[in-house]
Structure 1
Amino acid sequence: MANSDLYKTPTYCKAYYIPDEDNVTYIEDNPLTKIEVSDPAKILQLCENLTDIRTKNLEGKLNIYFRSEAEAERVFFINLFDVSDEAMIQVVQDKILDVPLRSSLAEDTIPNIVEYKDETLKCAEDLDPKIQSLINEIVAEDSGELILVPILAKERRTNLPKRLYVTPVYLICFVNASRDSSFVIRMVHETLRYCLTLLLNTRQCEEEKRLKNQCQSLLSVARKLFSHLGDLNDLLKEIMSEARRLTNAERCSLFLLDPDHMHLVAKVFDGVSPSEKKTEVRIAKDQGIAGHVAATGRTLNIKNAYKHPLFYKGMDEATGFKTRNILCFPIRDEDGIVGVAQLCNKMGGGHFDYFDEQVANAFSIYCGISIMHSLVYKKIQDAQARSQLSNELMMYHMRVSDGDVADVVLCDKYHDMTEFNCFTFIPRKVLHFEIPCYILKMFENLKILDEFRIKRDILTRFLLYVKKGYRDLPYHNWVHAFSVTHFAYLALKNFQLVELGYLSKLEALAYLIACLCHDIDHRGTTNSFQQQSNSVLASLYSSEGSVMERHHLSQTLATLNTDGCNFLECLNRVDYIKCLDLIKNLILATDLQVHYRIHARQQTMAMDGFNRKNPEHRYYLCSLLMTCADLSDQTKDWSETKNVARLIYAEFFTQGDLEKKMGKEPVVMMNREKASIPDHQLEFLSDCCVCIFRILARIFPIAECLVDAINQNIKAWEKSKPIFKHLTANYATSYEILTSQEFEDAVQAALGPKEQLEEMVEEEETVGEEQQEKEEEDDEDDESEG
């Protein structure tokens, strides 16, 4: 059929208006009186032609039909959405607009249109100004007569199934129609009696498709979230960013419930994470919009924020942001509500509609699941990090062979060095490959092997694994571990710690093991560096403090649990657990921050006298002995102390160089261009070392020689200061001066011959003894006076 014949009246349709010369006569007994103005054949052909699956095309075909019947210049539909209070024009005549025209309406606009269900809107002034503005974008104000026909539909509300509600769904606009408005109204109603259901079903299908697309987008977002599960703040920020995009919101905030303090704490506030803000945002659980949602578990869709009684205007006044509307919904996990998400201001001037609520509810589920999995994932990450560290250690080192163990166990060398049992002995003189043999000898001399029936081969394997556990660093290496262990051996032997009851035999065993392992797998950097660089170690231990010390403890236990290394298996269960606890406390005591926390109590213990039955005194003494062993290099002669300083500053300056590469300014002590080594050494010896060893000497007077040695080194560093300053012009850095032979010779010359140095030491010892005697006499006088 040709297009021109599409709407021609078929021959089988009966006329229901009979023209007269003067007027039109209505035939009341006509069988087609229910169709007063339309041609049934045309309506049937129109229905046959409405086969499209898009409302835009359906509206276009209806526009052509209505234009022909009404003899109008132009026809278009205004879609009315009751859920979102929105009006939209997407087709004008048969032309589909590239971008639909949308406008949000007042809350009572659409319900009021029901008043005009039987006739056209009387005039443009009856319309919401936003609808008028929408029409003016299509039709100029002076374009002529405009007829608006409201189309109502009956729908059954789910909350009240027995009642039908009448809802305006369209406004059909006729521009300059030749037919009168009465004809246009009846023609439109008659036509849509058969077409409206199809039109509305197609529109609903499109809205469902829109929701489906939003949900698919949300699923796509969910896939992205797995890349942020390791960091909860990043995860929440990513979720809210995507939720804002999906719902076209200007701002978003996310609060997690703090069950201990009954507050909502902002994890993402206005799209900004707390790490980017100076202060956190906290809201009482039962206050405000977010608090109400958290308490009730119900979503709030607020179309006018300033009219809502729960809205707090002060936040807008403080930030300058104007909140128009809010979509606030709860976030749940398996146990209940864990937080609240809040979206502000629908972009484009509209409101959050039903579909936004559906997306928000779906998002809430994903958010709750993601938070739960993020927390679980964090635990998994910690476990993986621990495993990674253990594997890294094992990969870095080779396994200990049975031949290596046999070489040490069956070694027939005597291993006897002069003054090995004296505090003046320098452990660094022992050859590297002989160190395990000397350690075994120390265990034998202290009769620890026999006391606990420790198997030599298992202990030897443990020692060799510990040796391989130390990295090749300038200072914190296997030789340092041996030096610290040697001091522990000297303390046990010379102070008679076990014989006099200061330590039990089990504490002595734990003391030696802790000294051997206290710096295992040291990285050559400080605890603060580990935290600043966000290292794997920091992620594991920063919350507990003493990052490196806890890692040393972890590696000690891992080594002990290595196949063939657990030489403590000879202990009973109670002693085994107690020994591990002692090792833990002793290794953690090597953190100087731990020492400073108990330093005053150690001084009090030394002044009041050590009480062997007091558990706290035993802990303070063990910690003191551990700290002294770790710092024992400072009690050797000047040459050895200077050599140790060279090794220490090699590590310090390496860390300083790393910090510079990270864009951070290192502390002066670790800055090779700025450090003044004599000054730093004097500060360390005077403020730290002397104080610690004086406490030790107060408990064990025989340790006074160690204090004297430190004082002698202080004098040596004092004499080195002018030499250091003099050589500054000849060397680029202080480290170059320290390692130069010129510096060594100049300081030795300033100190004088060795004989003079020994005389000075003896003289100071005499003065020290006289001073001590005088102090004891003064104490006795004070007691007698008391």
Structure 2
Amino acid sequence: MASDTNELFPIPAYCKTIVGSEDGTIEDSPLQKLEISNPARILQLCEGLTDRTTKKLEIKINKYLQAETDASSVFMINLLTVSEEAMVQVVGDNILETSIRTPLSEDTISDIVEYKDNSLKCAEKLDPKLQTLINEIVTKDTGDLNIVPIVAKERRANIPKKTIVSPVYLVCFVNSSKDNRYITTLVHETFKYCLALLLNTRECEEERRLKQQCQSLLAVARKLFSHLGDLNDLLKEIMSEARRLTNAERCSLFLLDPDHMHLVAKVFDGMSPAEKNTEVRIAKDQGIAGHVAATGTILNIKNAYKHPLFYKGIDEATGFKTRNILCFPIRDEDTIVGVAQLCNKMDGHFDYFDEQVANAFSIYCGISIMHSLVYKRIQDAQARSQLSNELMMYHMQVSDQDVADVVTCPNSHDLPNFESFSFVPRRVFHRETPCFVLEMFERLDLIDHFRIKRDTLARFILYARKGYRDVPYHNWQHAFSVAHFAFLCLRNFQLVEKGYLSKLEALAYLISCLCHDIDHRGTTNAFQQQSNSVLASLYSSEGSVMERHHLSQTICTLNTEGCNFLESLSREDYIKCLDLIKNMILATDLAIHYKLHSRQLAMAQEGFTRSNPEHRYYLCSLLMTCADLSDQTKDWPETKKVAQLIYTEFFMQGDLERKMGKQPVDMMNREKASIPDHQLEFLTECCICIFRILSTIFPSAKTLVDSITRNIIAWESSKNVFDKLRVEGCTSYDVLISEELERQVQATLECMQDP
């Protein structure tokens, strides 16, 4: 019986010390005899390795090795070939709250094999990244450190029928009383029996992780597809799930605008509500997100401030501190549709598995985003169909006889001063306006130059007229007045003859003026959005709701059978003409005008350059705005009548808003509106500024500025009458239509003309 009662049985004779080779390494023995280890204790260790997690298995192996080597601490560094990183999750018998990881190249891991039988040489030759990892656990004052590599044979899928020997663990001993040879031999003998169990458990853990990841991604897919109806809600859900899957603090998501090659983010996770309403655009090839969009590769940044592509200005503006970033592309079947950017992993750095999750997650993102966009297009198509049906029900067809009446009209259409800015187009009889439009095309030589069929053009004009609703101001009469002003500009400023506009731009200008308010509902863009109208659902994301609808109806009218008078244009001119019409109709939104105002002013002051495309765009936009506001350049009696129409329409909208439970602005509130003040503000802060720019380019337009100046004086003089009659109980609109206002203001203007 053995003297050591703690041993289950005596050490057999073959468990004896064998001297190693001259260089100090242990030679492989074909008999694989135990030299140092106690078989009884190894059996006890193997018997206890029943846990299903590598962390608990590592604790038991660490305790065994620590006892056998009299070390102060033992820990194992996992070498993960797939993710190419080193990881420590247990030190001694303590499971770390957060695993310590560092990336390693495959070559670095392979080099360790060379020192598998000599721990001292292995420790000397370790990669600096491994040294840094070890220093996070062991300080220099702790004592000696022995590191023994553990290697295993594995088959690689990419190298068939070939076995590869690669290191799988580094076993580290801190301050052991045993020598290097003893420690190395003990580790090899111990892992001869434990390694297979460790590796199998590690593989099972990976299988469980993949299963859990797949279940999480399936749950994410269900969530994402429940938000297809609203793209913004979908994007918020994507960011929330991306954060949850990777344990990140913040996520931003950019969609690619293919037309302008920008990444666009309307919502930033973690920002204030005010900031969330701000659209952010960055160039496709700039910054971290831009780099990922351009290259299509994932970018895992451990230290954001040291990366050359990182822009710290956003951190400085928000007070947020970005530590690390995981940025990955979002793809559909063929192309990149966006980029997601995760910031600050809560428990360390984004690792290989986060990258794998991100790549898998991006597939669901791309599919759901593309389905959401398709769903939105289907909704848009349904809304357009509804609008088209509504329009067809509201308007009648144009008969061939109506077309013939316009084409063969026997009247001369030669009214006095028709080509003068003083002419009032609203005085033309409604039934004769299509004939005068055709006359304008004739006088501008557009019909012969573009070989336009007169009957096709006449049918288009009649359909356009029917496209306007019977609202007080934004009706066909307004469209005719705007088109007439365009005709006057083309004739009086000789825009084509002097090279300011091409013949094609002149054609687009006249068409745009004629159709710029087609199917106007008598309400503003803001009202459409507040009332959640069909138009708002179609166009609110693009802005200029009504203007985009007018453009859509213009194209619809042009595509109506027998109306496409542009069919004689070449394909190139046809496309260019439609682009010009689009830009000109959208320019009638005053919100766009205010964005362009400073650039138009600079163009006028510096001088118009005919060869500059931007100058031509600014001029076309300016001409459209002037035409749209041309009623304000007529004489006082006419501008007063126009004001009556405008405020009738405004007050109708105000009444609708009150029925909706909303308080209208004063200008649209028939009880509170101060018409002369509103008119003066409009004339002095908007109209006269626009026409002054026009007169800077075309000095003969000064007569238009003078007309607006007279109307400003007229509205100033009207304030006394408004104040007087308002006190007597009249509403502002009652005063506007009163004869006394007409009489007194006219008297003031006549006094000004007397010498």
Select the residue among 397, 402, 405 that pairs with 1:407. 402
Distance (whole Å) between structure 1 residues aligned to residue 365 and residue 396 of structure 2: 47
Letter in 2 for 1:520: I
Distance (whole Å) between structure 2 residues aligned to residue 614 and residue 435 of structure 1: 36
Distance (whole Å) between structure 2 residues aligned to residue 462 and residue 679 of structure 1: 40
Letter in 2 for 1:746: E
Q: Go from structure 1 to structure 2 and tell me whether the alpha carbon gap of 1:713 and 1:365 turns closer, same or farther (over 3 Å shift).
A: same
2:600 is aligned with 1:598: yes
2:539 is aligned with 1:537: yes
Partner of 1:747 in structure 2?
A: 741
Partner of 2:518 in structure 1?
A: 520
Partner of 1:209 in structure 2?
A: 208
Partner of 2:355 in structure 1?
A: 361
Q: Go from structure 1 to structure 2 and tell me whether the alpha carbon gap of 1:615 and 1:421 turns closer, same or farther (over 3 Å shift).
A: farther
Select the residue among 456, 459, 469 that pairs with 1:458. 456
Secondary structure of the corresponding residue to residue 512 of structure 2:
helix
Q: Go from structure 1 to structure 2 and tell me whether the alpha carbon gap of 1:269 and 1:394 turns closer, same or farther (over 3 Å shift).
A: closer
Partner of 1:246 in structure 2?
A: 245
CA contact (8 A) 2:224 2:368 kept: no
CA contact (8 A) 1:466 1:559 kept: yes
Listed one character per residue, the Cα deviations across residues 525-547 of structure 1 (whole Å, up to 9, x for unaligned) are: 6678889998643533x5xxx77
Shift, 1:398, TM fit:
1.0
Distance (whole Å) between structure 1 residues aligned to residue 386 and residue 411 of structure 2: 34
Q: What are the ranges of 5 or more consecutive residues in structure 2 without an aligned counterpart?
A: 15-32, 61-73, 79-85, 103-136, 138-147, 157-162, 173-188
Distance (whole Å) between structure 2 residues aligned to residue 359 and residue 582 of structure 1: 52
Shift, 1:515, TM fit:
2.5
CA contact (8 A) 1:244 1:250 kept: yes
Equivalence map 1:638-649=2 (5 Å):
638-649=636-647
Partner of 2:219 in structure 1?
A: 220
Select the residue among 146, 152, 158 that pairs with 1:156. 152
Equivalence map 1:632-643=2 (5 Å):
632-636=630-634, 638-643=636-641
CA contact (8 A) 1:157 1:165 kept: no
Distance (whole Å) between structure 1 residues aligned to residue 503 and residue 281 of structure 2: 55
Distance (whole Å) between structure 2 residues aligned to residue 501 and residue 299 of structure 1: 52
Partner of 1:470 in structure 2?
A: 468
Distance (whole Å) between structure 2 residues aligned to residue 560 and residue 265 of structure 1: 33
Distance (whole Å) between structure 2 residues aligned to residue 537 and residue 89 of structure 1: 64
Secondary structure of the corresponding residue to residue 162 of structure 1:
strand
Q: Go from structure 1 to structure 2 and tell me whether the alpha carbon gap of 1:86 and 1:451 turns closer, same or farther (over 3 Å shift).
A: closer
Partner of 2:106 in structure 1?
A: none
Partner of 2:719 in structure 1?
A: 721
Select the residue among 715, 734, 737 that pairs with 2:731. 737
Shift, 1:385, TM fit:
8.4
Letter in 2 for 1:209: R
2:561 is aligned with 1:559: no
Distance (whole Å) between structure 1 residues aligned to residue 217 and residue 389 of structure 2: 43
Q: What are the ranges of 5 or more consecutive residues in structure 1 without an aligned counterpart?
A: 1-16, 63-77, 91-99, 109-130, 132-151, 170-189, 768-786
Secondary structure of the corresponding residue to residue 568 of structure 1:
coil
Distance (whole Å) between structure 2 residues aligned to residue 438 and residue 86 of structure 1: 87
C-alpha RMSD of matched pairs (Å): 7.5
Equivalence map 1:319-398=2 (5 Å):
344=344, 346=346, 357=351, 359-366=353-360, 368-369=362-363, 391=385, 393-398=387-392
Q: Go from structure 1 to structure 2 and tell me whether the alpha carbon gap of 1:219 and 1:28 turns closer, same or farther (over 3 Å shift).
A: closer
CA contact (8 A) 1:297 1:337 kept: no
Distance (whole Å) between structure 2 residues aligned to residue 344 and residue 698 of structure 1: 56
Distance (whole Å) between structure 1 residues aligned to residue 575 and residue 296 of structure 2: 50
CA contact (8 A) 2:500 2:610 kept: yes
CA contact (8 A) 1:449 1:455 kept: yes
- How high is the TM-score relative to the length of structure 1? 0.56
Shift, 1:689, TM fit:
4.6
Q: Go from structure 1 to structure 2 and tell me whether the alpha carbon gap of 1:648 and 1:604 turns closer, same or farther (over 3 Å shift).
A: farther
Letter in 2 for 1:475: Y
Q: Go from structure 1 to structure 2 and tell me whether the alpha carbon gap of 1:741 and 1:89 turns closer, same or farther (over 3 Å shift).
A: same
Listed one character per residue, the Cα deviations across residues 133-179 of structure 1 (whole Å, up to 9, x for unaligned) are: xxxxxxxxxxxxxxxxxxx997627699436666789xxxxxxxxxx
CA contact (8 A) 1:612 1:618 kept: yes
Q: Go from structure 1 to structure 2 and tell me whether the alpha carbon gap of 1:410 and 1:211 turns closer, same or farther (over 3 Å shift).
A: same
Distance (whole Å) between structure 2 residues aligned to residue 311 and residue 511 of structure 1: 46
Listed one character per residue, the Cα deviations across residues 499-536 of structure 1 (whole Å, up to 9, x for unaligned) are: 99999987765554332112224455667888999864
Listed one character per residue, the Cα deviations across residues 401-428 of structure 1 (whole Å, up to 9, x for unaligned) are: 6663423424798779996755776554
Listed one character per residue, the Cα deviations across residues 662-705 of structure 1 (whole Å, up to 9, x for unaligned) are: 9999876556665422022134345555576686699697995x
Listed one character per residue, the Cα deviations across residues 640-671 of structure 1 (whole Å, up to 9, x for unaligned) are: 42332233235556777899999999876556
Letter in 1 for 2:744: A
Distance (whole Å) between structure 2 residues aligned to residue 687 and residue 221 of structure 1: 53
Q: Go from structure 1 to structure 2 and tell me whether the alpha carbon gap of 1:254 and 1:662 turns closer, same or farther (over 3 Å shift).
A: farther
Distance (whole Å) between structure 1 residues aligned to residue 510 and residue 301 of structure 2: 68
Q: Go from structure 1 to structure 2 and tell me whether the alpha carbon gap of 1:243 and 1:332 turns closer, same or farther (over 3 Å shift).
A: closer
Shift, 1:744, TM fit:
0.9
CA contact (8 A) 1:249 1:344 kept: yes
Listed one character per residue, the Cα deviations across residues 174-205 of structure 1 (whole Å, up to 9, x for unaligned) are: xxxxxxxxxxxxxxxx9999999679746743
Distance (whole Å) between structure 2 residues aligned to residue 699 and residue 469 of structure 1: 34
Distance (whole Å) between structure 1 residues aligned to residue 494 and residue 339 of structure 2: 62
Distance (whole Å) between structure 2 residues aligned to residue 197 and residue 438 of structure 1: 95
Letter in 2 for 1:218: L
Letter in 2 for 1:563: E
Partner of 1:684 in structure 2?
A: 682
Q: Go from structure 1 to structure 2 and tell me whether the alpha carbon gap of 1:381 and 1:406 turns closer, same or farther (over 3 Å shift).
A: farther
Equivalence map 1:424-443=2 (5 Å):
427-428=425-426, 435-436=433-434, 439-440=437-438
Letter in 2 for 1:747: L
| Alignment: residue pair count | 642
CA contact (8 A) 2:248 2:342 kept: no
Equivalence map 1:66-85=2 (5 Å):
85=88
Shift, 1:266, TM fit:
10
Q: Go from structure 1 to structure 2 and tell me whether the alpha carbon gap of 1:663 and 1:104 turns closer, same or farther (over 3 Å shift).
A: farther
CA contact (8 A) 1:228 1:235 kept: yes
Which entry has the higher C-alpha Rg, 1 or 2?
1
Between 1:233-242 and 1:334-343, the stretch displaced more is: 334-343
Percent of aligned pairs with the same amino acid? 51
Distance (whole Å) between structure 1 residues aligned to residue 264 and residue 442 of structure 2: 60
Shift, 1:720, TM fit:
2.3
Partner of 1:11 in structure 2?
A: none
Distance (whole Å) between structure 2 residues aligned to residue 491 and residue 37 of structure 1: 106
Q: Go from structure 1 to structure 2 and tell me whether the alpha carbon gap of 1:196 and 1:227 turns closer, same or farther (over 3 Å shift).
A: same
Between 1:422-431 and 1:718-727, the stretch displaced more is: 422-431
Distance (whole Å) between structure 2 residues aligned to residue 454 and residue 539 of structure 1: 37
CA contact (8 A) 1:470 1:522 kept: yes
Secondary structure of the corresponding residue to residue 409 of structure 1:
helix
Shift, 1:466, TM fit:
1.6
Shift, 1:707, TM fit:
6.5
